């Protein structure tokens, strides 16, 4: 088992829900990354998703796009992020998951990317623009390096396809809860609860809800239908606004989600 599997095994043993926060590497300067990761670990994050700034982030909403622009303007690159994580890794034991797109990986070189990700202690990758039909471009390399590819499913995915995707993973399945890009939502479609329950019924791995979750109440509600949540835009916003207490409140809410 890699760190992601161990983390979810521990949650199951302790009857707890997962909380995976997302942050944009380099937003506010790459020198902030260490403090951000240590803070999230101390707050009890199950794993931490680290976004790589990219000029054409097709899955990202305004808050994360703006954070990516700030990071790019400060000169943040994928290579620099991996180098920074390698320095931080001896201090932070929480599973670390890179969220990036295929273009930066291609530009880096798949072999070089995998090599440096291993050196940095990366546990997983989320690549939103990589469909399962094309993932053989990189999955053999990730598997050899014991880096888990975290796959996404959506509200429009047929259940048969969801089941096919779920069987490929070992970490967790990322269930997108909105039809569209990331960003805070005031409410969710009535079908989301059934959608999450249906995914749970066919997935052999934990299911986490993500996209649009922005309040402690939503963390509790959506977490009750699956194994936990991923929160991105709101974490990015709170880091930018230096509202660390609000981040802690979101993470603590996951500990009160219904586990029945």
pLDDT of amino acid 183: 47
Domain with 231 in it: what CATH number? 3.20.20.70
**Count: domains in the chain:** 1
Contact 146, 171 (CB under 8 A): no
Q: Is 194 exposed, middle or buried (0-12, 13-18, 19+ CB in 10 A)?
A: exposed
pLDDT at 1: 81
What tokens does 16 get? Answer: 């707890």
Region of residue 237 (left: phi > 0; alpha: psi -120 to 50; beta: else): alpha
- Pairing mode, strands 48-51 and 228-231: unpaired
Q: What is the model's pTM?
A: 0.94
User: How does DSSP classify residue 150?
Assistant: E
255, burial (CB in 10 Å: exposed 0-12, middle 13-18, buried 19+)? middle
pLDDT for the residue 56: 82
Between CA 38 and CA 244 the distance in angstroms is: 12
pLDDT given at position 86: 98
Instruction: Give me the tens of pLDDT residue by residue for the chain, a chain 260 residues long.
Output: 899 999 999 999 999 999 999 999 999 999 999 999 999 999 999 999 999 999 887 777 788 999 999 999 999 999 999 999 999 999 999 999 999 999 999 999 999 999 999 999 999 999 999 999 999 999 999 999 999 999 999 999 999 999 999 999 889 999 998 765 454 444 566 688 999 999 999 999 999 999 889 999 999 999 999 999 999 999 999 999 999 999 999 999 998 766 65
* pLDDT value of position 187: 53
Catalytic residues: 49, 60
The parent domain of residue 121 ranges over 3-256
Q: Are strands 148-150 and 152-153 parallel, antiparallel or unpaired?
A: unpaired
In this structure, the chain runs to a length of 260
Q: How many CB atoms lie within 10 A of CB 259?
A: 14
Distance, first Cα to last Cα, the chain: 26
């Amino acid at each position: 088992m890699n760190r992601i599997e161990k983390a979810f095994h521990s949650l199951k043993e302790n009857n707890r829900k997962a909380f995976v926060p997302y942050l944009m590497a380099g937003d506010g300067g790459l020198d902030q990354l260490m403090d951000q990761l240590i803070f999230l670990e101390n707050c009890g994050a199950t794993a931490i998703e680290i976004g790589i700034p990219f000029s054409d982030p097709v899955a990202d909403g305004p808050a994360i796009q703006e954070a990516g622009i700030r990071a790019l303007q400060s000169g943040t690159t994928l290579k620099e992020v991996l180098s920074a994580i390698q320095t931080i890794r001896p201090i932070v034991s929480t599973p670390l998951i890179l969220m990036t797109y295929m273009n930066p990986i291609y530009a880096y070189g798949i072999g070089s990317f995998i090599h440096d990700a291993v050196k940095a202690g990366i546990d997983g990758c989320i690549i939103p623009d990589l469909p399962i039909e094309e993932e053989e471009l990189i999955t053999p390399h990730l598997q050899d390096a014991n880096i888990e590819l975290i796959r996404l499913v959506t509200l429009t995915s047929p259940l048969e396809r969801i089941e096919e995707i779920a069987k490929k993973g070992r970490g967790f399945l990322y269930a997108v809860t909105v039809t569209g890009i990331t960003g805070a939502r005031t409410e969710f479609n009535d079908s989301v609860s059934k959608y999450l329950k249906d995914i749970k019924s066919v997935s052999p791995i934990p299911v986490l809800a993500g996209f649009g979750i922005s309040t402690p109440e939503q963390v509790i509600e959506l977490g009750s239908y699956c194994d936990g949540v991923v929160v991105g835009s709101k974490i990015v916003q709170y880091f930018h606004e230096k509202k660390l207490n609000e981040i802690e409140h979101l993470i603590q809410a996951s500990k009160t989600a219904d586990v029945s």
